[in-house]
Homo-oligomer: A and B are copies of this chain.
Amino acid sequence: MDAQQPRWLADDEMQTWLALARVLIRLPAALDDQLQRDAGISHFEYQVLVGLSGAPERTLRMSSLAVFANGSLSRLSHVVGRMEKAGWARRTPDPTDGRYTLAILTDAGWDKLVATAPGHVEAVRALVFDPLTRAQQRQLGDIGRRISRAVDPAGSHLDELST
């Protein structure tokens, strides 16, 4: 690193940041790969399945589902469109307020999730939890919530959500 190098981080911070940056890139890619390989779906689609499966009537408004799945409404609309073609979901206007659209998980969608979830959970365990001590697992939760709060002060209380 030469003398004109723009101001950067202290050495130990740099090591931490490099490790984190690698995780930020590689971990989602690895999880996506596992889902793609074993189930032919993206992590985002998986989150949509999980979101709907945990909701009453297996039904959620598109806008709520978008928040849950951490994506834009536009992206969700495209994806649910594809999932409708696959027979995993269907859409219908909210009878109580026609401005909303309800996304509903079909039985086929439920079956898809049941078939997919164990393998994915296994991958999360293998890549995230198993390499860490119990103490580190707890630390990671706290650290994640703190960073979350810094990134998006408004939405981070959603961390308390159930599945």
**Chain A interfacial positions (CB closer than 8 Å to B):** 1, 5-9, 12-28, 30, 53-54, 70, 113-114, 117-118, 121, 124-132, 136-152, 156, 158-163
Contact = CB atoms under 8 A, between A and B. Distances in A.
A24 B132 CA distance: 17
B54 A121 contact: no
28 contacts: A1-B54, A1-B162, A1-B163, A6-B113, A6-B117, A8-B121, A8-B163, A9-B124, A9-B125, A13-B137, A15-B159, A17-B124, A18-B159, A19-B145, A19-B148, A19-B159, A22-B70, A22-B148, A24-B24, A24-B27, A26-B70, A30-B152, A127-B147, A128-B150, A131-B146, A131-B149, A139-B139, A143-B143
Q: What are the 9 tightest A-B residue pairs by CB atom distance, in nearest-first order?
A: A19-B144, A16-B141, A6-B117, A131-B146, A131-B150, A25-B70, A20-B144, A26-B151, A19-B145
Given A117-B6, A121-B7, A23 B148 contact: yes
Contacts of A125: 9
A13 B141 CA distance: 8
B20 A128 contact: yes
